[in-house]
Amino acid sequence: MCDPIIDRFTKVEGEPFRKEVVEEYLKNKNSFNKYPLRHYSQLESIFDEKQVKELLSKLNIPTADTTVTIFGGYTGQFANCLRNIGMQVVFTDPLEEWVKKAIENGFEAYRYAAEEIPETIVKRTDVFATFECYPPFAEPSLSIYTAQRFLTSKYGILFAESKRTRDEMKKEGVRAMLKYAFGAFDKVYSIKRSYREKGDLRLYHFCSSANNKEKIKMDCKVMKLLYTDYSDETYLDKKTIVSFVDRTKMNKEEFLCSLERILKLYQIQIPRSLRRYFPNNIFRIFSKQFHIDLKILRV
């Protein structure tokens, strides 16, 4: 089950990335200070097609007969590079102006935020890729389900990042979001985490083994059903779980194992400095919060 969850908490930071702002940046690079300059790194990065193909080869991601769905496609230079090296590109972005531009440039393109990409696209995608679209992985309650959906693809997630952006984030004291966000998935699902870089470009790769993909798919199914079936705040006690299992015809032990993984995945991503403020028996799925009777998980 890879249906998206459309939630009121899903927000798109659109203003810094609008076409008129990009044009203003391009006209006034030396004096532009309206937004962080890293928002415009894709415009400044050099995508050497030979180098990108070499990096993908080192990450064991083939280019021939590989369908890549770009999320947060934005100004499109990264998508264009992947198409030029032989990949079949599906372009998505939450802003209509960039989708329109992509269509004009010959891409199959749709207006979706990462969280909104439909199951029909997920099922035919071999790898999900982006150039510096961080927001889908920034907040655990919003990011876990989206990352899980993407990790069900054949080659998982490819995240491109420039040295320019890393340097700017370091100066601002912004922590390395990818390291923390996908570290939790490594601990729970033993995903493969690797990267290769050349020149200004670094490519991160996150993918799962076939066996662990089945666990991820199971957990996607459970999260979707929990989100659909329950209100904004739910206590998962023995009675609630028995009712849920009976209604969904799920195996109880598999369901409890899935709950344990989802809880662990959420809790790991809470910064240590904040954990004393978060009970160890809660997790969130977008705007909905679930409390688990931990005694049930220990049975």
Last residue of a domain, one of 171, 186, 209: 209
In a domain, 249, yes or no: yes
In a domain, 10, yes or no: no
* 221, 203: one domain: no
Provide the H-helix boundaries in 115-251.
Answer: 119-123, 140-151, 163-172, 177-189, 210-229, 238-248
* 88, 146: one domain: yes
The band of 299, judged by pLDDT with boundaries at 50, 70 and 90, is very low
Last residue of a domain, one of 209, 237, 265: 209
* 220, 204: one domain: no
Using the Cα atoms of residue 67, residue 70, residue 73 and residue 76 in order, give the sign of their dihedral.
negative
**Domains identified in the chain, total number:** 2
| Angle between helical axes of 238-248 and 210-229 (0-180°, round to 10) | 110
3-state SS class at 154: coil
Last residue of a domain, one of 179, 209, 239: 209
In a domain, 2, yes or no: no
* 164, 100: one domain: yes
> Cα separation of 157 and 146, whole Å?
11
The band of 177, judged by pLDDT with boundaries at 50, 70 and 90, is low
Residue 42 phi/psi, 5° resolution? -60, -30
By mean pLDDT, which of 87-96, 99-108, 174-183, 248-257 is the weakest?
A: 174-183
Q: What's the mean pLDDT when you consider all of the chain?
A: 92
- The CA distances from residue 143 to 136, 147, 148, in Å, are 5, 6, 8
In a domain, 5, yes or no: no
Element (H, E) at 57: helix 49-58
- The CA distances from residue 238 to 243, 252, 288, in Å, are 9, 11, 19
* 31, 144: one domain: yes
Encoded tokens for 267 = 């809790």
* 255, 130: one domain: no
Tell me: the pLDDT tens digits for 17-70? 999 999 999 999 999 999 999 999 999 999 999 999 999 999 999 999 999 999
Q: Is the pLDDT of residue 139 over 90?
A: no
In a domain, 6, yes or no: no
Q: According to the model, what pLDDT value does residue 178 have? A: 76
Q: What is the largest CA-CA distance in the chain?
A: 64
* 250, 181: one domain: no
In a domain, 26, yes or no: yes
Domain that holds residue 218: 212-297
Cα within 13 Å of Cα(33), Cβ side:
2
* 265, 165: one domain: no
Strands 201-207 vs 127-131: parallel, antiparallel or unpaired: unpaired
Domain with residue 122: its CATH number is 3.40.50.150
Give the rounded percent of residues in the chain with a pLDDT score beyond 70: 97
Using the Cα atoms of residue 134, residue 136, residue 140 and residue 146 in order, give the sign of their dihedral.
negative
In a domain, 142, yes or no: yes
In a domain, 187, yes or no: yes
- CA–centroid distance for 248 within its chain: 27
> Cα separation of 237 and 291, whole Å?
8
